[in-house]
Structure 1
Amino acid sequence: MRETRDESGPDDGHRRPPAVGDTTVEALGALTEALETVERARGRLYDFHQLTGGADLTLDRAVELLRTAGHMGHADLVEREILGRNVLPGRWTFQVVEEYDVTYYRPFVEVEARVREELAAGRQHLYEAEMKEARRTRGHPDHTARP
């Protein structure tokens, strides 16, 4: 086993400020967890955007092949009804992403940061840092408090 020093716990950026209680730390942890879930949802929205856009571009080949195979009516149907179609009334996926960002995502990020700033001097992941501290084995080289 390699030698390590046992630090005195989390760095200052991950220590709760004075007078911040357990319930506040837990609430901030839940707020951040919710934001992390929204980050994942936003990633799925970008998946939706890119997958739908990629499918629309692939339709160019399908239309071309239908025409080459002599299926002009079917090629025209796909081109007229599906190629370039809105995914929601008046919107392509980039507009859905933009509206999500402006209407929901950015306000969420701003409110989460404001609450952390006002209640915990802006410190992040206090709940997780305290969980790490409680769960680590002191003196073990792979359970150090800091990098």
Structure 2
Amino acid sequence: MGPDEEHTRPEGVDDLTVEALGDISEALEAIEIARGHLYTFHRLSGTADLTLGKGVEKLREAGHKALADKFERELVGRNVLEGRWTFQIMEEYDDGYYATFKRLEQEGRDALVGGRRHLYEAEMKEDRRTHGRRGHEARPDDN
């Protein structure tokens, strides 16, 4: 048995189209990873600000009021970019670049291959696997 219909190239679709959609899908995967790193930045920045606040309170308790006040005034709760905390960066990224990328990638697949995903990879798998060998099945129900 071979790949399921969802991972089979529609009739009339040429190699270059499949390759182009494969590149766009690969770019989307990179954007997903970048988005994850951006969320990591968001979480770490928030944790740092909360931990900084604890340290500032301990400075104050230890009698270093002027220094604690300076940290609190200049750094605790400060914007990480002009006018923005990290949640605002995330929202702008998600609603702008990320949403546009996802929408256009989907539109391309819908228009050219009936919405099918990972055709390039499915064809690569079919080419590279050892047909008839356990562990090399085309799909889970191919035993």
Q: TM-score range by the shorter chain?
A: over 0.9
**CA root-mean-square deviation:** 0.6
1:19 corresponds, among 3, 12, 15, to: 12
TM-score, normalization by structure 2? 0.96
The one-letter code matched in structure 2 to 1:22 is D
TM-score, normalization by structure 1? 0.94
Deviations 1:100-143 (A, max 9, x none): 11120001000000000000000000000000000000111000
Q: Which residue of 1 aligns with 2:66?
A: 73
Deviations 1:25-65 (A, max 9, x none): 00000000001100100000100111000100111210111
- The runs of 5 or more residues in structure 1 that have no matched partner are 1-6
Aligned positions of 1:1-147 closer than 5 A = 7=1, 9-147=2-140
Aligned-residue sequence identity (percent) comes to 61
SS where residue 107 of structure 1 aligns? helix
The one-letter code matched in structure 1 to 2:114 is A
